[in-house]
Amino acid sequence: MRMKRWNVVLAALALSASACASASREPEVPAGPDAVAQAEVAEAVAGGSDDVVSGAIVVDFKDGTTKAEFDAWEQAWGVDLEFNSLEGPRTGVTLAVGVGDVEDVLQRIRQNPAVESAEPLMHVRSSFTPNDPQYESQWNLRMIDMPKAWDGNRGKGVVVAVIDTGIAYEDHEDFKQVPDLKGVSFVKGYDFVNDDEHANDDHGHGTHVAGTIAQATNNGEGVAGVAFDATLMPLKVLNHFGSGTSADIADAIRFAADHDAKVINMSLGGGLYSQVMASAVEYARKKGVTVVAAAGNTGRGRVEFPAAYPGAVAVSAVGPSGSLAPYSSYGKELDIAAPGGDKSRGDSGGILQNTIDPRDPSRSVYAWYQGTSMAAPHVAAVAAMLYGAGAKNPDEVEQALYAGAKATGDQAWSEQYGHGVLNANASLKAFTGGGPRWPSLGWAAALLAVVLLTLRGRERPGFLNILFRPAFFVPLVLSTVGFFFLRTWFTGASGAAGDVVNVASLPIPDWQRIIFGRATVSPLFYSALIPLVLSLPAITWRGFRPAVGGLALGFAGFLAYAAWVGAPALAWMPFTFLAKPWLGFNTVVCLVIARAMLKREDA
């Protein structure tokens, strides 16, 4: 019985596998009042829907049907049925997994008079809805698909540092904790404005931001938060006027990184470039911290600092319609968009959270705010959920954030929305544990076949000799998937050793992440430049040719796959639509290089 349960679980985990049901035959529409519903089920099976457990069926026999009886029918049906649970002998509910043609099997089973019903095994989700009385007013949480995301992860135990005006997190002197933060987990923070350990809010901004990240949820009070099981670290760098210094912010970033924060949220910005702050952001990222920052509220095409620093996730704001808010900054450094509110048609278009009355820090209010300041904490909170799901570093978090974002139009990236509008549920689904990009290696293998087929018989090198020759195979792997296993083997590596592990664990084209630290990638790396440069010495040094051939094929596979799934944002490109042609052209150049390097000249 336990083995049957495990089979069902494994079948559920294999949803991404090809659908077992035959899609070539039109499903029959049953008669009766449930005809439409049953037709929808048949269509879901044929289409491999996530609502159906692939290759699994449930059969409900009439009460009194014994196991010996349905065992005798199994051979004709082509299935292996077992009672679903200890209640099976009484209820008659049985399961079968690993079913090939689900609809065909079900049609045969339904003809048996002992069968009350037979159908595909369905997924049923809780679709968690919090009981916070003002949750219905939080359009922003539904926009990023939080009800489904909450079913899987709520950021438990992940520390998120809120670098802001402080948080109303404690009762201390004249300060009071706001009611909707009671029960939220906090770790020790610091007030860099007043140089003490009580980072209390005397403005209201920081508490509002913190509420979006981890407001106490399902507590019958006020509103909900995104990652409400996360732990907050209050770091006050802005005074009661909402202003601060680059020195305090830089110190706060380093404090957070040194005190086990996994995510930093900075809903602040403006001013000139600061090397001190830029270095602090770089320091935090190298320590494995995801740094999220608001793009700014100028309404102009320029992302403000600190969001514009390499290594920071820059967030623009959208309103309830999903369009860029009129105040939101945007630009070439932008990474992603999230709900920030648009109150042009009333307060309800803003982001609602519990905070303090700026005129009286001891008084709690529920307020509608708008700004990229409100958008950034949505992203920071989902980053915390991704860490809670097992992400190990900022690269893995960002990859999932961008993969799950809802793109605008047919653009993989734009200056207004980055990779698209945040979707928490899709990002959690996209998270794969930071595994390698196996499709790139598959494309490289396919392109190797193309190269060999374009060579005349005597010009072709021995296929197995190439594939298993380290000089060829190692560069091919390094340029498609990287030495991804190094992060597992050298988890604690730091300093220069840590830098080497971080670089080598990425495919060569993605080394630009370490160098430039942004989501928009350098077209110099996403091109044939590196194989082309290395091919020059190989013209005379023949022993170097297999390595260059493997490298060129790896690059070809990587670039072809990148173009196939949706071209990334390429820096310095005058038009976004040029990304795919660029990748396609450079794929062809890489193939030409690979062909030249692998061709036997002694034929």
Of 474, 464, 504, 509, whose CA–CA distance to 488 is shortest? Answer: 504
pLDDT at 365 over 80: yes
**Lowest mean pLDDT: which of 107-116, 427-436, 532-541?**
427-436
- Which residue type sits at 400? A
At residue 83, the 3 state secondary structure works out as strand
Identify the pLDDT of residue 33. 39
Determine the Cα–Cα distance for residues 476 and 91; give it in Å rounded to an integer: 57
pLDDT at 500 over 50: yes
pLDDT band, residue 320 (cuts 50/70/90): very high
* 561-566, long-range: CB < 8 A, 24+ apart: 561/437, 561/439, 561/440, 561/442, 561/443, 562/440, 562/509, 562/526, 563/587, 564/443, 565/439, 566/407, 566/412
Average of pLDDT values for 133-161? Answer: 91
Question: Among all chains, which residue has been given the structure tokens 């190692």?
Answer: 474
Q: Are 194 and 182 in contact (CB under 8 A)?
A: no
Determine the Cα–Cα distance for residues 278 and 267; give it in Å rounded to an integer: 16
**Lowest mean pLDDT: which of 62-66, 260-264, 342-346, 406-410?**
406-410
Average of pLDDT values for 122-134? Answer: 75
Average of pLDDT values for 188-193? Answer: 96
Identify the pLDDT of residue 496. 61
pLDDT at 47 over 60: no
DSSP track, 291-356:
EEEE--SS-SS-PPTTTTSTTEEEEEEE-TTSSBPTT----TT--EEEE---GGG-GGGSEEEEEE
Identify the pLDDT of residue 241. 93
Q: Are 130 and 180 in contact (CB under 8 A)?
A: no
Identify the pLDDT of residue 493. 52
Average of pLDDT values for 282-306? Answer: 95
pLDDT tens track for 74-86: 888 988 899 888 7
Of 371, 422, 394, whose CA–CA distance to 267 is shortest? Answer: 371
pLDDT band, residue 1 (cuts 50/70/90): very low
Determine the Cα–Cα distance for residues 270 and 452; give it in Å rounded to an integer: 56
Q: Are 430 and 404 in contact (CB under 8 A)?
A: yes
| Tokens found for residue 601 | 């000249």
Query: Going by C-beta distance under 8 Å and a sequence separation of 6 or more, which residues neighbour residue 246?
Result: 271, 274, 276, 277
Of 480, 482, 455, 439, whose CA–CA distance to 592 is shortest? Answer: 455
pLDDT band, residue 210 (cuts 50/70/90): very high
**Lowest mean pLDDT: which of 215-219, 306-310, 492-496?**
492-496
pLDDT at 213 over 70: yes
**Lowest mean pLDDT: which of 380-389, 457-466, 537-546, 590-599?**
457-466
| Tokens found for residue 4 | 């049957």
pLDDT at 5 over 50: no
Identify the pLDDT of residue 124. 61
Identify the pLDDT of residue 91. 85
User: Which residue in the list 205, 208, 378, 419 is annotated as catalytic?
Assistant: 205
Identify the pLDDT of residue 292. 98
pLDDT at 26 over 50: no
pLDDT at 55 over 50: yes
User: Which residue in the list 246, 328, 329, 373 is annotated as catalytic?
Assistant: 373
DSSP track, 376-443:
HHHHHHHHHHHHHTT--SHHHHHHHHHHHSB--TT-S-BTTTBT-B--HHHHHHH--SS---HHHHHH
- Angle (CA) 396 397 399, round 5°: 65
For residue 123, count other CB atoms closer than 10 A to its CB.
11
Q: Is the peptide bond before 306 cis (omega within 30 degrees of 0)?
A: yes
pLDDT at 16 over 60: no
Widest CA span in the chain: 88
pLDDT band, residue 601 (cuts 50/70/90): low
Identify the pLDDT of residue 31. 40
Helix, strand, coil share of the chain (percent; to 5): 40, 15, 45
Determine the Cα–Cα distance for residues 400 and 422; give it in Å rounded to an integer: 10
Helix axes 246-258, 275-286, angle to 10 degrees: 10
Determine the Cα–Cα distance for residues 495 and 499; give it in Å rounded to an integer: 6
pLDDT band, residue 442 (cuts 50/70/90): confident
pLDDT band, residue 431 (cuts 50/70/90): confident
pLDDT band, residue 413 (cuts 50/70/90): confident
Identify the pLDDT of residue 325. 96
Determine the Cα–Cα distance for residues 443 and 299; give it in Å rounded to an integer: 42
**Lowest mean pLDDT: which of 386-395, 494-503, 576-585?**
494-503
pLDDT at 502 over 80: no
Identify the pLDDT of residue 468. 66
% the chain with pLDDT above 70: 79
User: Which residue in the list 132, 145, 164, 395 is annotated as catalytic?
Assistant: 164
On average, the pLDDT of the chain sits at 83
β-strands 336-339, 351-357 pairing: unpaired
Question: Is 164 one of the catalytic residues?
Answer: yes
Identify the pLDDT of residue 86. 77
pLDDT band, residue 352 (cuts 50/70/90): very high
Of 393, 402, 406, whose CA–CA distance to 433 is shortest? Answer: 393
Question: Is 505 one of the catalytic residues?
Answer: no
Beta pairing partners, 185: 231
pLDDT tens track for 239-251: 999 999 999 999 9
For residue 94, count other CB atoms closer than 10 A to its CB.
23
Q: Which domains are present in the chain?
A: 2-122 (3.30.70.1140), 135-430 (3.40.50.200), 438-598 (no CATH)
Determine the length of the chain: 603
Helices (H), 224-295: 246-258, 275-286
pLDDT band, residue 457 (cuts 50/70/90): low
| Tokens found for residue 578 | 């040029």
Identify the pLDDT of residue 569. 63
β-strands 351-357, 360-369 pairing: antiparallel
* pTM, full prediction: 0.64
